[in-house]
Amino acid sequence: MSTRRRDLVGGASALALLAGSSAAFAQSKETPAEPRSKSAAGSGTGGGITIQGGSLARPANQEELKALLQAACHNGGGIAFDGSTPPIKISGTLEIRLRDVGDGGVYLNGNGLRLESTNRDGVTAAVRFIGKTRFLTVQGFNLYGGGYDTPGCGNGFEFVSSGGDIALSTFSNLVASYCGGHGIVFKGAIFESDTYSLKSKDCRGQGIVFSNQGGVVSNMMMYGTNSSRNAGWGMDLQAGCNSVDMFGGSFVLNGGGGINCPNGFRFMIAPNGENTGETMINMPFAAYPATVIAANLSSNGRVLNPANPNAKPSRYLINPPANGKLNEIGGFVVPYTENSQPAPSNMSVLATQTPATRPKP
């Protein structure tokens, strides 16, 4: 079994146009001059901006991007961006205020739009959505935090409830890489919502964070999560958070470990870890019964995350809750040999087991 690829740490319809800015977008990359619309027919205004149906949006800079996003979040409805738009440089924090626009909701589709933070203090967040709303969809944005060879930005994406809750929302196909802080953060009263294909990699903090700070995260459903090569945990549930369900997930070469859930984790199925800190799932306490099905951890006992000097070889699949509120089904560990080096002999499914008594795969 080879892990060479994993050793490389570090390494429908068009929905809206901005009519208030003459330089906001073009119909295609090949014809940048003519199609910049100035017409004002639309579904409403917010902050001086009018949303109008038409082609894919092509913001030229951070100011135009913010105007487009803020108008959609103020008026409701949707906006889709041209994914071939050149990368947008983000200075400071691109903050978008949310408000409840009713059951019609807000749909923001980046179509792969690349955002590049120019922050270099390792503290200032790159993108923040903050406020209260329902039926928000944010998808298809790719953020580079600048932390490959500099301190980079602080957190990459932040979704923060304020003045109410963020509910019945979807966060999909978001990528955060090389952030100086955490990759993707959900904080406060965010509930009955879902994530699809979140990817966080090479961040100096945790990959993905859920925090009850400022409100309770509740009934979050995660599908196809990938959070790897971060200096901290692949995923971290903070401030008592535990109401999360996860269906499939990959956690490779994180320095802290795979999933840190000190207050429990409602349900997870088939999370995979490889050479990802000493413990794949750290759950020393569970406020409510937790179920983990078909989790697995593989390791050659040597490969570590070089960004974290305290990283340890992978040993335990689960550090189980001392209060016994864990239903663990079908979990297994895979110690393997690579490059003629012996496989580790000290791995176990539960941290309370000795290697000799661990269940066989």
In a domain, 286, yes or no: yes
Q: What is the mean pLDDT of residues 225-232?
A: 98
DSSP secondary-structure letter at 244? E
Query: Are 127 and 154 spatial neighbours (Cβ–Cβ below 8 Å)?
Result: no
Residue 123 lies in a domain: no
Q: What is the pLDDT of residue 352?
A: 79
Among 86, 118, 135, residue at a domain's last position: 86
Asked whether residue 214 carries a pLDDT value surpassing 50, the answer given is yes
- Cβ atoms of 330 and 293 closer than 8 Å: yes
- Please say which residue of 86, 109, 126 terminates a domain: 86
Average pLDDT, whole number, for the chain? 87
For residue 78, tell me if it sits in a domain.
yes
* Residue 272 to residue 217: CA distance in whole angstroms: 24
Task: Report if residue 133 sits inside a domain.
Answer: no
The answer to the question of residue 321 being in a domain is yes
**Which domain covers residue 79, as residue numbers?**
13-86
Q: How high is the pLDDT of residue 55?
A: 81
Assigned domain for 116 exists = no
What per-residue confidence (pLDDT) applies to 261?
98
| For residues 71-94, average pLDDT | 96
Question: What percentage of the chain reaches a pLDDT higher than 70?
Answer: 83
In the Cβ-directed half-sphere of 232, how many Cα atoms lie within 13 Å?
21
Q: How confident is the model at residue 61 (pLDDT cuts 50, 70, 90)?
A: very high
Helices and strands (DSSP H and E) totals, the chain: 1, 28
**How many domains does one find in the chain?**
2
Distance CA 83, CA 111 (A): 5
> pLDDT class for 355, splitting at 50, 70, 90?
low
Tens of pLDDT, residue by residue over 94-106, are 999 999 999 999 9
Reported as a pLDDT band with limits 50, 70 and 90, residue 280 is: very high
* Mean pLDDT calculated for residue range 115-137: 98
Q: Is 162 exposed, middle or buried (0-12, 13-18, 19+ CB in 10 A)?
A: middle
The pLDDT of 8-23, averaged and rounded, is: 36
Indicate the pLDDT class of residue 52, thresholds 50, 70 and 90.
Answer: low
Establish if 146 belongs to a structural domain: no
Which strand (E) or helix (H) includes residue 66?
helix 62-75
pTM of the model: 0.85
Say yes or no to pLDDT of 360 above 60: no
C-alpha Rg value of the chain to the nearest Å: 22
Residue-wise burial string across 274-313, b where 16 or more C-beta atoms lie within 10 A, e elsewhere: bbbbbbbbbbbebbeebebeebbbbbbbebbbebbeebeb
Which residue among 67, 86, 105 closes a domain? 86
Q: Is the pLDDT of residue 200 over 70?
A: yes
